Amino acid sequence: MPIATAFIVGASSQLSQEMARQLSAQGVELALFAQNSDDLTPFIEQLPSAAHAFELSIDQPQQTVQQLETAWQQLGGAHLVVINTGFNQYHPDLPWQLDQAIIQVNVQGFAAIANTCFKLLCEQGYGQLAAINSIAGMRGGSSVSFHASKAFSANYLEGLSMHAQRLKLPITMTDIQLGLLDKAAMQQSRLWSAPIPKVAKQILVGLQKGKRRLYVTKRWRIIAWLAKLLPEYIYNTRHWKSKTAAKKEG
């Protein structure tokens, strides 16, 4: 008998697979969701605990709902659901098609998953729903719809948490505010990035503690705090650039 069951939605990502590995090592039975579930077979074969792959059509919400409900019935519920889906791409011309694709996955798709899993947890009467979010949701940014979509998911989870309290159900909602992963370090700053096993471990420890909000890695709490406090004329570095340019011109 497994000690617990966990759903990981968006299981093709490196971070999801590292969390799956660590949970599996603890004897947790897993339901893993990906766009192409067949791709998960070689990964699942390496896991020490039972694991099952399910198809996820995040851009078709009705299908997403059905896919989650089917898996829920098949496994007899779950103690933990982790949503780790997301799409981001930047183009300076802000083409609508790109915005639309980000909104479809990060807003509509996210809401369909969170809404369905929350209701399933309510019917079950207990459990934990967690989502990997981003510090990017604290403020606006050049990747306009991505930043806005992350604010949406943070607020959506907060609302669900209020509903769980209203219903007096022991359902924990955890908002995981992620900084930079190591894979992004190649493009960004090594100083602020963290290796995926460390990130996965911090997430799982925070989930076990039943935290409402987690900053991973912990140092990103400082950035989040600063991001909330800074007035726009400091936060928006374009203001600095335009002043410097004006001085040069003058």
Ligand X SMILES: NC(=O)c1ccc[n+]([C@@H]2O[C@H](COP(=O)([O-])OP(=O)(O)OC[C@H]3O[C@@H](n4cnc5c(N)ncnc54)[C@H](OP(=O)(O)O)[C@@H]3O)[C@@H](O)[C@H]2O)c1
Nearer to ligand X, 75 or 105 (CB): 105
CA gap 172, 158 in Å, rounded: 10
Q: Shortest Cβ distance from residue 69 to ligand X (Å)? A: 17
Minimum distance, C-beta of residue 221 to ligand X, in the bound complex (Å): 14
Q: How far is the CB of 168 from ligand X (least distance, A)?
A: 30
By C-beta, is 183 or 241 nearer to ligand X? Answer: 183
Cross-strand pairs, 34: 55
Q: Which is nearer to ligand X, 219 or 241 (CB)?
A: 219
Is the CA virtual torsion 57, 18, 52, 160 positive or negative? negative
Q: List residues binding ligand X (CB under 6 A).
A: 10, 12-16, 34-35, 56, 58-59, 84-87, 105, 132, 134, 178, 180-181, 184
Tell me whether residue 119 or residue 182 sits nearer to ligand X (CB atom).
182
* Shortest reach from residue 114's CB to ligand X, in Å: 12
For residue 237, the minimal CB distance to ligand X (Å) is 19
Q: Which two tokens stand for residue 221?
A: 């709490």
Of 96 and 233, which CB lies nearer to ligand X in the complex structure? 96
Least distance in angstroms from the C-beta of 243 to ligand X: 30
Q: 């403020």: which residue's tokens?
A: 139
Closest residue to ligand X in the complex (CB):
86
CB nearer to ligand X: pick between 69 and 122: 69
